[in-house]
Amino acid sequence: MEQTEFLNKHVFKGLKGINQKGETDESSFFSEEDFAVVLERAEYFGIGIYSIETRLKGEQFEQAKHEEHKKKATDPKWYSKAFLTLRKRQAGLSYSATYKVSSKLLAKEIKEE
């Protein structure tokens, strides 16, 4: 299974992406509420999140990276804290992230819930 397929099937399932023309599924932007679900699912599956990007009214706003927090990409503490900080800093943002799904997880057959 490819990373994009895994993300669509298990992480983004049932969520409404807010993409601009020409963007791929893997760079999907989500509302604050939906992105909170994405982060919960990423933590559940142990998916690495390298960065979180935000937009305000379609324009790039701010970005947070795991290196800035001195944490591993798979450590949910960094991305939970970054998300909370971004939410408090500005209302009405849309959120996206760069992900890394391990090859072990991609090879695993996950049952549908």
Q: Does the structure show a pLDDT above 70 at 56?
A: yes
Query: What pLDDT, on the 0 to 100 scale, is given for residue 24?
Result: 52
pLDDT tens-place string over residues 20-29: 555 555 568 9
* Integer angstrom CA distances of residue 89 from 28, 34, 56, 64: 21, 18, 12, 13
What's the whole-model pTM score? Answer: 0.88
CA dihedral 70, 78, 81, 95 (to 10 degrees): 120
CA nearest 36: which of 76, 63, 6, 8? 76
Query: What pLDDT, on the 0 to 100 scale, is given for residue 32?
Result: 95
CATH number of 3-105: 3.30.190, 3.30.300, 1.25.40, 3.90.1720? Answer: 3.30.190
Q: Does the structure show a pLDDT above 90 at 76?
A: yes
Residue 57 CB contacts under 8 Å (≥ 6 apart), including other chains: 92
